[in-house]
Structure 1
Amino acid sequence: MTDDGVSIEARYEPSPVSGTEPSDQVALVVGHGFSGALERPALRRVASAFRQRTAVITFSFRGHGRSGGRSTVGDREVLDLTAAVRWARGLGHRRVATVGFSMGGSVVVRQAALCGKTDEIQPLHGVHQGERTGRSPGRTVGAPGPLGAARGSAGWADGAAPDAVVAVSSPARWYYRGTAPMRRLHWAITRPTGRLVSRYGLRTRVDPGGWVVDPLSPVAAAPLIAPTPLLIVHGDRDPYFPLDHPRMLASAADPAASELWIEPGYGHAETAASPELLSRIADWAAAHAAAHA
């Protein structure tokens, strides 16, 4: 359950090869792209590859799969990721890395930046998220304010800060429409007919209210992550986001705590990731999370 009262479906899979106790294993918490979900084949393939090296938590973002709520396309999804990271800590994992693909990539960058920092998170138009979904309501969300206010004076990020972050195929900035796939995606998000296609064709429920205030962008969030290690992975054949996106993220991030991998021949997100690339990502995340924790 997220801090704003959304029920999130998730799955925990310990690794059979990297230690017998959760405290001995790094946990990778994986955020999928828009229209993905826990049971989608691409995410299950990622989980299977990662599990050969680490424990894995996969989940469906709000508005996806059997999770509650509606998608806010990267804004309040930071609360979904936070709930999953806290779950990993609660299971006994001392070292946790987050890995996000496409929309999930923007979420892991923003979530890591907001741990211990402040940002304005979207009010849901004066209602509980739980009221939107018919589930038990969470805290009332009022006017925009510090994200830390969601959990009172102790701060929302207790137990949620990752030990390493990997953003794969992530956008750097909002409202990008420079490629045909992104123009189609914006239609699916912003138009009533598009949201119907999203709901019934992509099985993704989009919040029709949109953003009241633009959330902190990934490129603005990137410099706030240090000293937590950050890996940015992008393909030179990505049909959604050209190479200026990962380069903008890398330029904004602290060079002492970040790396950029431009992968030849790689397309977009979890669907196009090869087993070899997934293995390298898992190895990097596990090693850097262990070193940073």
Structure 2
Amino acid sequence: MSSEAEGRFHMVDVSPITSGLRRATLLTDDDVRIEAVYEPCTASVTDTAVVVAHGFTGSADRPSVRRAAGVLAGHAAVVTFSFRGHGRSEGRSTVGDREVLDLAAAVRWARELGHARVVTVGFSMGGSVVLRHAALFPKGSGDGGGGSTEAEGRTGAHSDAVAAVSAPARWYYRGTPSMRRVHWVITRPVGRLVGRYGLRTRIDHRGWDPVPLSPVEAAPLIAPTPLLIVHGDRDPYFPVDHPRTLAAAAPQAELWLERGMGHAENAADDALLRRLGDWLTRR
């Protein structure tokens, strides 16, 4: 195993001969260290990389994330990472606010590795993050940020195409039992203890101040970047008015309502992931 420092990226290679995986610690614009994993394309050499943003309580090493990365690697190189407060990453989860800085660091790393085209796909909380990231780091602007993120917006952080899977349209939604449980974990001291020790997720106890740009507010700002909204009609967290609201707010968006699908990366089967990979690499 070897390591080297390259700018803001401290990279650690793991089993490069047998697996091709490369692990790295990335430093975000607000100086949080996050873990990331690079998986080369298994089909051919490509200039495209897909950056995968997991859901709340996930991580780069969760089986559902590794499975998704393995399927997507048949279409492009793949970067997975753990949001702040998740997995081996430092910091505490802000549940969709400052996580845009984690995604920006992962996108920049993909470009540092030589990929001219970098696309993003996010699941649940990660879906809200890819939407906000695309709005705050637009292509060709050379800058980004806004709201509570205070992003420095160095070049190379933009996404060339965006797919949001099982994403909420608006904040503070408590309309389902599943979301009421999530809010209990986030807002109650005992809930955050359950999150830390039961779900291995460290959650910031402070509320948003100010409230960040919501996904539905971000959606119309993403154009002309291609945007795909994917949602299951049996999602126990967010009913189908969420994806429909997001698609209606973004004229360029394509909407896939998946029959029988539940929530996020755990419910995304290999066939859907292959369709996602095809969409992301052809847009």
TM-score normalised by the chain length of structure 1: 0.84
Match of 1:30 among 37, 41, 52: 52
Is this contact kept in 2: 1:18–1:25, CA < 8 A? no
Distance in structure 2 (CA, Å) of the matches to 1:238 and 1:224: 26
Distance in structure 1 (CA, Å) of the matches to 2:244 and 2:62: 29
Matched position secondary structure for 1:262? strand
- Please say if 1:82 is aligned against 2:104: yes
Match of 1:46 among 56, 68, 75: 68
Counterpart position of 2:9: none
Counterpart position of 1:139: none
Displacement of 1:213 after TM fit? Answer: 1.3
Is this contact kept in 2: 1:60–1:67, CA < 8 A? yes
1:152-171 aligned within 5 A: 156-171=153-168
1:169-188 aligned within 5 A: 169-188=166-185
Distance in structure 2 (CA, Å) of the matches to 1:16 and 1:106: 28
Distance in structure 2 (CA, Å) of the matches to 1:118 and 1:273: 31
List per-residue Cα deviations over 1:42-86 (Å, max 9, x = no partner): 101100110111100000000000000000000000000000000
Counterpart position of 1:103: 125
Greater RCO, 1 or 2 (C-alpha within 8 Å, sep 6+): 1
Displacement of 1:18 after TM fit? Answer: 2.3
Structure 2: state its 5+ residue gaps: 1-26, 139-143
Q: 1:287 is matched by which residue type in structure 2?
A: R
Distance in structure 2 (CA, Å) of the matches to 1:110 and 1:17: 31
1:270-289 aligned within 5 A: 270-288=265-283
Is this contact kept in 1: 2:47–2:114, CA < 8 A? no
List per-residue Cα deviations over 1:126-182 (Å, max 9, x = no partner): xxxxxxxxxxxxxxxxxxxxx3xx43xxxx141011000000000000000000000
Match of 1:121 among 148, 167, 171: 148
Counterpart position of 1:61: 83
- Please say if 1:71 is aligned against 2:93: yes
Displacement of 1:119 after TM fit? Answer: 2.4
Is this contact kept in 2: 1:9–1:59, CA < 8 A? yes
Distance in structure 2 (CA, Å) of the matches to 1:281 and 1:258: 14
Counterpart position of 1:93: 115
Counterpart position of 1:144: none
Determine which structure has the larger helix proportion and give its number.
Answer: 1
- Please say if 1:11 is aligned against 2:37: yes
Matched position secondary structure for 2:276? helix
Counterpart position of 1:127: none
Q: 2:41 is matched by which residue type in structure 1?
A: S
Q: 1:200 is matched by which residue type in structure 2?
A: Y
1:195-234 aligned within 5 A: 195-234=192-231
Distance in structure 2 (CA, Å) of the matches to 1:25 and 1:274: 26
Distance in structure 2 (CA, Å) of the matches to 1:204 and 1:37: 9
Displacement of 1:16 after TM fit? Answer: 2.1
Q: 1:29 is matched by which residue type in structure 2?
A: V
Is this contact kept in 2: 1:100–1:107, CA < 8 A? yes
TM-score normalised by the chain length of structure 2: 0.87
Is this contact kept in 2: 1:82–1:157, CA < 8 A? no
Distance in structure 1 (CA, Å) of the matches to 2:190 and 2:145: 35
Distance in structure 2 (CA, Å) of the matches to 1:78 and 1:118: 9
Matched position secondary structure for 1:5? coil
Counterpart position of 1:132: none
Q: 1:99 is matched by which residue type in structure 2?
A: V
Is this contact kept in 2: 1:238–1:266, CA < 8 A? yes
4+ runs deviating over 2 angstroms: 116-119
- Please say if 1:250 is aligned against 2:247: yes
Matched position secondary structure for 1:8? strand
Counterpart position of 2:234: 237
List per-residue Cα deviations over 1:18-59 (Å, max 9, x = no partner): 21xxxx331000000000001111101100110111100000
Distance in structure 2 (CA, Å) of the matches to 1:119 and 1:25: 30
CA RMSD of aligned residues (A): 1.0
Distance in structure 1 (CA, Å) of the matches to 2:145 and 2:132: 11
Is this contact kept in 1: 2:148–2:209, CA < 8 A? no
Is this contact kept in 2: 1:115–1:157, CA < 8 A? no
Counterpart position of 2:259: 264
